[in-house]
C-alpha cells in the first residue's frame, strides 16, 4: 500500500477536490486527502496525503505557507480577485512608490486580524460564506487572527498611464487561515484606493516547496515508479530528532507502551528499520504516544 505525500503542482482551472478525485482514479486508492485548499484559479503546491499520511493532515496545516502573487490598484471586486463582480473603480492619477506600498505591507505583517472574503469556504452557522454570497444573503463575517511572517514587493510597481491603474508583484509567507486576497484588499483600503488580486501561486506548504512538486501528468507517466513522485512520511518529520528503535523497543511501541529516552527533545520521531512508526512526546519522565504510524512502510 502507498503511504506518503504527493507535492502536487496544482494547475489553474481545477479545484483541490478535483485533484484528489483524479488521483483517486489514477492510483486506485481511497485513503487520500489534501492539506490546504487552493482556489480554482490559484496554482502551485498542493500537498496530497496518501495512506498513513492522511493522519498527518492536521499537522500539515500548522506549517507556514508561501505565495507569489500580483495585485492591481484601481479596481475592487466582491471576491477580492478577478472572478468576482466589480464593486469599485478609481483612477490612479498619481502612482504610489515602492516605499509607500511596502510601508502598508509592513502594517499587515505580524499577528493581524483579518476578515475572510465573502466568497470563501469559512463556515458561519454551518453554512459556507460563498453559499450565502451566491444566495445574495448578507452575513457577518467572523474576524480572526492570523500570522503574516512577511509581505513584500518582489519588484517595483508598474503604472498603466492609459488605464490609470497600478500593478504590483509580491511575496507572502503566512499561517493557516490567511487569505492572501484579503491582504491585497486590505492594502488598498489603507491606501484609500480599490485593490484586487490578479494572480497567485503557492510556492510552499506543509514544509514542501515547488522544487519537489510534480504534475498529474508526471504521476500518470511514472505510475509504476512512485519514488519519482511520492515523498515518504519520514520527510515530513525531518525537523524532529529521529530515534532508531531496537526490535525489543519496537515491540513495546507497537503496543503503545511508554519508553524512556535520555538527552533528547520533548517530541521525537521513533523509527524501525529506518521508517517512522510513531511520534512520541515527553510526559513526566517517560515518552508516550502522540501519533501512531505503524502501517507506514
CA distances in angstroms from 13 to 16, 38, 48, 290, listed in the order given: 10, 11, 18, 38
d(CA 76, CA 216): 34
Residue pair 117/79 in contact (Cβ under 8 Å)? The answer is yes
Helix (H) or strand (E) holding 47: strand 43-50
Say which of 39, 218, 266, 290 is annotated catalytic: 39
Residue pair 290/279 in contact (Cβ under 8 Å)? The answer is yes
Residue 20 in grid coordinates: 484528489
Residue 193 in grid coordinates: 484606493
Concerning whether 224 is annotated as a catalytic residue, the answer is no
Residue pair 3/28 in contact (Cβ under 8 Å)? The answer is no
The residues carrying an active-site annotation are 39
Amino acid at each position: 500500500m502507498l503511504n506518503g505525500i504527493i507535492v502536487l503542482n496544482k494547475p489553474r482551472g481545477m479545484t483541490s477536490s478535483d485533484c484528489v478525485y483524479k488521483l483517486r482514479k489514477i492510483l486506485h486508492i481511497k485513503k487520500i486527502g489534501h492539506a490546504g485548499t487552493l482556489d480554482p484559479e490559484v496554482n502551485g503546491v498542493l500537498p496530497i496525503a496518501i495512506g498513513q499520511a492522511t493522519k498527518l493532515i492536521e499537522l500539515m496545516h500548522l506549517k507556514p505557507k508561501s505565495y507569489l502573487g500580483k495585485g492591481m490598484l484601481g479596481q475592487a471586486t466582491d471576491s477580492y480577485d478577478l472572478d468576482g463582480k466589480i464593486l469599485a473603480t478609481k483612477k490612479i492619477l498619481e502612482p504610489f512608490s515602492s516605499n509607500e506600498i511596502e510601508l502598508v505591507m509592513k502594517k499587515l505583517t505580524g499577528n493581524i486580524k483579518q476578515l475572510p472574503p465573502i466568497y470563501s469556504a469559512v463556515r458561519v452557522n454551518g453554512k459556507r460564506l460563498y453559499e450565502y454570497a451566491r444566495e445574495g444573503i448578507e452575513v457577518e463575517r467572523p474576524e480572526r487572527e492570523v500570522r503574516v511572517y512577511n509581505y513584500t514587493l518582489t519588484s517595483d510597481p508598474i503604472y498603466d498611464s492609459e488605464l490609470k491603474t497600478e500593478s504590483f508583484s509580491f511575496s507572502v509567507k503566512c499561517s493557516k487561515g490567511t487569505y492572501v486576497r484579503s491582504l491585497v484588499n486590505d492594502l488598498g483600503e489603507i491606501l484609500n484606493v480599490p485593490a484586487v488580486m490578479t494572480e497567485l501561486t503557492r510556492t510552499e506548504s506543509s514544509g514542501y516547496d515547488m522544487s519537489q512538486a510534480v504534475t498529474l501528468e508526471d504521476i500518470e507517466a511514472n505510475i509504476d515508479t512512485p519514488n519519482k513522485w511520492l515523498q515518504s512520511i519520514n520527510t515530513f518529520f525531518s525537523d524532529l530528532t529521529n530515534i532508531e528503535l531496537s526490535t525489543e523497543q519496537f515491540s513495546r511501541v507497537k503496543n503503545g507502551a511508554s519508553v524512556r529516552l535520555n538527552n533528547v527533545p520533548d517530541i521525537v520521531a521513533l523509527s524501525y528499520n529506518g521508517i517512522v512508526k510513531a511520534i512520541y512526546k515527553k510526559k513526566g519522565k517517560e515518552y508516550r504516544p502522540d501519533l501512531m504510524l505503524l502501517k507506514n512502510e
